[in-house]
Amino acid sequence: MEQLVSVILENSLNEIYVFEEDTYKFLYLNKAALKNIGYSENEILNLTPIDIKPEFTKEKFDLIMAPLKKGEKERVIFNTLQRRKDGTTYPVMVSLTKGRYNNKGVFLATIFDESELYREKEKFENMFRLHKAIMLLIDPETGEIIDANESAQQFYGFNLNELKCMKIQDINILSYEQVKCEMQRAKSEARNYFNFKHRLKNGKVKDVEVYSSPITLGDRSLLFSIIHDVSERAKLLEIIQAEQKLNTVGTLAAGIAHNFNNVFTVIYGYLDAIEALSTDKVVKDYIDKLWKVLDKSKSITSKLITFSEGGSPFLKTNNLDIFLLKIFQEFRGKYNIDVSYVMQQNLCELEFDDNQIRNAIEEIILNAVEASSDSKAKIDVKVDYADYTEVKNILPKKRYVKIVIKDYGKGINPGIIDKIFEPFFTTNLAQKRGLGLTSAYSILKHHGGTIKVKSQPNEGAEFALYLPCVK
Q: For the segment 417-460, what is each residue's pLDDT rounded down to a tens digit? A: 777 776 655 555 444 444 567 778 888 888 899 999 888 888 88
Residue 265 binned pLDDT confidence (cut-offs 50, 70, 90): confident
Whether residue 135 contacts residue 155, with contact meaning beta carbons closer than 8 Å, is answered with no
Whether residue 145 contacts residue 128, with contact meaning beta carbons closer than 8 Å, is answered with no
- Look at residue 246 and give its three-state secondary structure: helix
Whether residue 134 contacts residue 151, with contact meaning beta carbons closer than 8 Å, is answered with yes
Whether residue 153 contacts residue 159, with contact meaning beta carbons closer than 8 Å, is answered with yes
Please tell me the distance from the alpha carbon of residue 302 to that of residue 293, in angstroms, as a whole number.
14
pLDDT at 256: 64
What would the DSSP string read from start to end of 351-366? EE-HHHHHHHHHHHHH
H/E segment holding residue 104: strand 104-113
Residue 403 binned pLDDT confidence (cut-offs 50, 70, 90): very high
Sheet holding 337-343, edge to edge: 337-343, 377-385, 400-407, 461-468, 450-455
pLDDT at 298: 67
Tell me the average pLDDT across 193-198.
85
pLDDT at 370: 84
Judge if pTM exceeds 0.75.
Answer: no
- Look at residue 33 and give its three-state secondary structure: helix
Q: Which of 172-186, 421-435, 455-469 has the lowest mean pLDDT?
A: 421-435
pLDDT at 410: 85
Please tell me the distance from the alpha carbon of residue 358 to that of residue 294, in angstroms, as a whole number.
22
Dihedral angle of Cα 68, 69, 70, 75, to the nearest 10 degrees: 10
Please tell me the distance from the alpha carbon of residue 79 to that of residue 121, in angstroms, as a whole number.
15
- Architecture per CATH, domain 312-468, reads as 2-Layer Sandwich (3.30)
Tell me the average pLDDT across 299-310.
59
pLDDT at 190: 64
At how many degrees (to 10) do helices 436-446 and 281-307 cross? Answer: 50
Please tell me the distance from the alpha carbon of residue 202 to that of residue 199, in angstroms, as a whole number.
8
Tell me the average pLDDT across 249-259.
59
Tell me the average pLDDT across 121-150.
83
**DSSP code at position 279:** -
pLDDT at 229: 86
Tell me the average pLDDT across 302-311.
57
Q: pLDDT tens for residues 92-128?
A: 889 999 988 778 889 999 998 887 777 766 776 777 7
Question: Percent of the chain scored above 90 by pLDDT?
Answer: 26
Angle, vertex CA 290, rays to CA 287 and CA 294, nearest 5: 140
pLDDT at 308 over 80: no
pLDDT at 21 over 80: yes
pLDDT at 135 over 80: yes
Return the percent helix, strand and coil in the chain, to nearest 5: 45, 25, 30
pLDDT at 252 over 60: no
- Architecture per CATH, domain 2-113, reads as 2-Layer Sandwich (3.30)
Provide the b/e sequence for 10-26 (b: ≥16 CB within 10 Å): eeeebbbbbbebeebeb
Kindly give, in sequence order, each residue whose CB lies less than 8 Å from that of residue 439, ignoring residues fewer than 6 positions away. 303, 306, 307, 359, 360, 363
- Name the pairing type of β-strands 205-217 and 350-352: unpaired
CB under 8 A, 24+ apart: contacts of 265-269: 267/294, 268/294
Residue 281 binned pLDDT confidence (cut-offs 50, 70, 90): confident
pLDDT at 250 over 70: no
Q: Which of 264-268, 285-289, 420-424 has the lowest mean pLDDT?
A: 420-424
pLDDT at 465 over 90: yes
Tell me the average pLDDT across 70-86.
91
- Look at residue 76 and give its three-state secondary structure: strand
pLDDT at 400: 94
Q: Which of 50-54, 218-222, 458-462 has the lowest mean pLDDT?
A: 218-222
Closest-CA residue to 109 (of 49, 57, 50): 49
pLDDT at 279: 76
Residue 294 binned pLDDT confidence (cut-offs 50, 70, 90): confident
pLDDT at 261 over 70: no
pLDDT at 310: 46
pLDDT at 7 over 70: no
pLDDT at 4: 45
pLDDT at 431: 47
Q: pLDDT tens for residues 338-384?
A: 888 999 888 888 999 888 898 889 888 888 888 887 777 889 999 99
Residue 260 binned pLDDT confidence (cut-offs 50, 70, 90): low
Tell me the average pLDDT across 272-283.
77
118-229, superfamily in CATH? PAS domain (3.30.450.20)
Residue 302 binned pLDDT confidence (cut-offs 50, 70, 90): low
pLDDT at 402: 94
- Look at residue 211 and give its three-state secondary structure: strand
pLDDT at 386: 92
Tell me the average pLDDT across 170-188.
78
Whether residue 199 contacts residue 171, with contact meaning beta carbons closer than 8 Å, is answered with yes
pLDDT at 85: 93
Give the type of residue at 233.
R
Tell me the average pLDDT across 242-265.
62
Q: Which of 169-178, 240-249, 405-414 has the lowest mean pLDDT?
A: 240-249
pLDDT at 466: 95
